Amino acid sequence: MTEYFKIGKFVAIYGLKGELLLKHSLGKKTSLKNVQAVFTEEKKDSFLPWFIESSRIKNEEEIYLKLEGIDTREAAVKLSQKEAWLAEPDFKKLAAKTSPLNLLGYTIIQDAEPLGEILEVIEQPHQLLCRIEINSKEVLIPLHEQSLQKIDHKKKQVLVELPEGLLDIYLG
């Protein structure tokens, strides 16, 4: 089964021919060259491909995309504000090595105990939040100077020292 990685969101419509503005967090300028499709999640774990006709870089974090079958402003409205995903091979090629999105799939470890796999990375001004699941409950783990001890890229692990009681808030 193909893995998909959330890279950003369609934030606006540009012009009258259905071009969309994609705000991404891949960590570097890209035009999504050699990427055939971006995906939207229609239902949980059900992804719909949108084939790329053309793309242009706007800046470090934004790209104008023209998608197949989206030829009017009205058609583009349906995709506006939807999250954009890439298939794993494309994501691996495009994400900057330093991009926080590269932590997806890593395991968060506290006191030598694995807490869970990072399912989503949420970037905030002074910290990253990593969404994991523990006992089918969503848990947000903050990564910042005080909590992050080490990132082991070889073992795909993020070692943390969490504030006392943080997990109790989520797990009761």
84 and 115 co-located in one domain? no
Statement to judge: residues 16 and 73 lie in one domain:
yes
pLDDT at 145 over 90: no
Total domain count, the chain: 2
CA separation for the pair 34, 172 (Å, rounded): 47
User: At 90, which CATH number?
Assistant: 2.40.30.60
Q: To which residue do tokens 């992804």 refer?
A: 47
- pLDDT digit string, tens, across residues 67-97: 999 999 999 999 999 999 999 899 888 888 7
- Centre a 10 Å sphere on the Cβ of residue 41 and count the other Cβ atoms it contains: 15
pLDDT tens sequence across 151-170 = 998 999 999 999 999 999 99
Q: Are 55 and 82 part of one and the same domain? A: yes
Q: CA nearest 1: which of 125, 99, 130, 88?
A: 88
Residue range 22-57, pLDDT digits in tens: 999 888 889 998 999 999 998 887 999 999 999 999
Per cent of the chain over pLDDT 90 is: 70
